[in-house]
Amino acid sequence: MMWPHHPSTPIAAKQAVNFEFEILGPDGQTVALEPYMGMGGHAEVIKSDGSVFAHIHPTGTVSMASMAIASPMAMMGMHENSPGPVVSFPYGMPSSGDYRIFVQMKHDGQVSTGGFAFTVR
């Protein structure tokens, strides 16, 4: 798994960022992704001091139980049948510090997991 679209400028706290990831095949080309648990991927953001843990989705992140109660039709809109070759996870870091993002995406029937470290100013 690759993080080829790592932000070129420092990540700032309290600003939205699109974290984009892709999986490259043996030939170095981007592979076709499959839905994983109904979405293009899943990610977890963890701050090194343990004060932040967030499970995020490419289509946005809300409590799935709250979404199902508030609007079952909107819940269906969160599912992706054919994710693109690059999966983007929108999120805003609540504070500065050192973080890791763990990403899971699926291709060829296999789930790939990658972990990436970054610093927020």
Q: What is the mean pLDDT of residues 64-83?
A: 62
Q: Give the number of other CB atoms < 10 A from CB of residue 54.
A: 17
Q: Would you say residue 65 lies in a domain?
A: yes
d(CA 103, CA 114): 5
Residue 5's region, left for phi above 0, alpha for psi from -120 to 50, else beta, is: alpha
Global pTM value: 0.81
Per-chain mean pLDDT for the chain: 85
Query: The domain spanning residue 80 has which CATH number?
Result: 2.60.40
**First CA to last CA distance, the chain:** 25
State which residues form the domain around 57.
Answer: 16-120
| 40 burial type by CB count under 10 A (0-12 exposed, 13-18 middle, 19+ buried) | buried
Q: What is the mean pLDDT of residues 11-31?
A: 91
Q: Would you say residue 2 lies in a domain?
A: no
Query: How many domains are contained in the chain?
Result: 1
pLDDT at 73: 61
Partners of 17 in beta bridges: 91
Q: What is the mean pLDDT of residues 45-58?
A: 95
Q: Which helix (H) or strand (E) holds 24?
A: none
Task: With a cut of 90, say whether residue 103 has pLDDT above it.
Answer: yes
Dihedral angle sign, alpha carbons of residues 3, 8, 14, 18? negative
